[in-house]
A and B are shown apart, each in its own frame.
Chain A
């Protein structure tokens, strides 16, 4: 199957939003491992995201240096655990770095997982953590739920209408399904 450029960009956007299932994500990450437009788009999307978040930019050659460090690490095979954790904080996952995936993909992949629950840091008070849940797509009625919910959120008294941006965002996603 030949995918158009637009479709590919959509897929990358979905990957960054954590909307792809494991198999789709793995296939796309494989594509991103090579040079090309897809990888440029991936970089650009992250750059935009970083700029919006006021995140500090990585220094030039960062990916290459990480790749070099990875090559020096002993190999520890723990991909199963990784899949279930989907960590967001890539400093917390040396095991992933050791998994021998190409350096840049590792950085990209670990930096994504936007909604995964963060494993670190340890809370001050011991908390009951439920078992790691199965990730499923957004329900088709998500925008209805959000419209019903948003009006009851006290935070919207500070934010005004802007909280409803989530509702319309869910609507927009609904269109794509």
Chain B
């Protein structure tokens, strides 16, 4: 039995390996390394549908670790600052700081270099053309999904440094959204450039206080092909709402299931979307279930429809 299965297994692995080019995987690792290790600052555009938003992004790396800052340049000012294990979102209009902590890398579903090859289970990964973005000579890396449960990505990375200049999300019908630097300077960043511009003393702090926890009784009747549970936690959201969060991922995209008591409120079942983000809301066992992810509507809805509560025995 085993002897007969063996050649089949070999063939399967061979088939999977053929679809990927080692150079393309190496490019993904280079992009990953550049994102973590380079200091840079630049102007950045997020575009989906007819909407564009401009931000300034600054990344500072020294021996102690890295700090990254995003400042919104359009409309009301806001800032997000991320250190190794804390994300702070400053909202000066409402004088609120939202704080997301995460256990230092423990259980964190980062895309680590050694996991890049595993992406081949769900994506065909290949090198694309050369392309100039914001004055940088870039190489395109294509991640083409093997089914309609995930988006495809075209990544454009600087040939010299590996820095990601542009990322386009697409599906069978075309491009869904994109992130692009319109101007970028590598290096020349000092520590003060990533400090908050706001003296936030007296602001309300909304700490998510997220901690790994088991959400007893909650689960999926069936997992979505290629997506596996990566983390399950309890947290707070907004001013005080206690919320359960379960994250499923295919190694690149992720979908979060948020579960919160209804407490007499009513929910509206349905799908909302924003670029590649889909949000499906429904009621399950007197709780509001909100499924959020950068995945096609069909994936988000299928996960939402699979959420069930079974009274723990």
Which A positions have Cβ atoms within 8 angstroms of B?
A: 12-13, 16-18, 45-46, 48-49, 52-53, 55, 88-89, 112, 114-118, 120-121, 123-125, 127-130, 133-139, 141-142, 144-149, 151-155, 157-173, 175
Contact = CB atoms under 8 A, between A and B. Distances in A.
A118 B171 contact: yes
Given A89-B173, A157-B111, A165-B70, A133 B271 contact: yes
Given A127-B148, A159-B179, A154 B251 contact: yes
B158 interface: no
A55 B170 CA distance: 13
A115 B147 contact: no
Q: Which of B48, B50, B296 has the most CB of A within 10 A?
A: B50
A158 B25 CA distance: 13
Interface in B210-234: 210, 230-231
Contacts of B271: 133-136
A147 B98 contact: yes
26 contacts: A16-B51, A52-B180, A88-B174, A114-B50, A117-B296, A124-B147, A130-B298, A133-B270, A133-B271, A134-B269, A139-B290, A142-B272, A145-B279, A147-B100, A153-B294, A154-B254, A155-B153, A158-B31, A158-B155, A159-B179, A162-B57, A162-B179, A167-B80, A168-B80, A172-B74, A172-B75
B85 to A, nearest CB: 10
Contact of B292 (A146, A154, A169): A146
A169 B74 CA distance: 10
B49 A139 contact: no
* 10 smallest beta-carbon distances between A and B, as pairs: A115-B273, A136-B270, A16-B50, A165-B46, A118-B173, A114-B49, A154-B111, A134-B270, A133-B271, A157-B111
Interface string B168-187: 10011111101110000000
Contact of B89 (A89, A147, A154): A147
Contacts, number: 250
Contact of B238 (A18, A112, A130, A141): A141
Given A114-B48, A133-B280, A168-B80, A53 B175 contact: yes
Given A128-B302, A139-B290, A166 B275 contact: yes
Nearest to B79: A168
B220 to A, nearest CB: 14
A165 B53 contact: yes
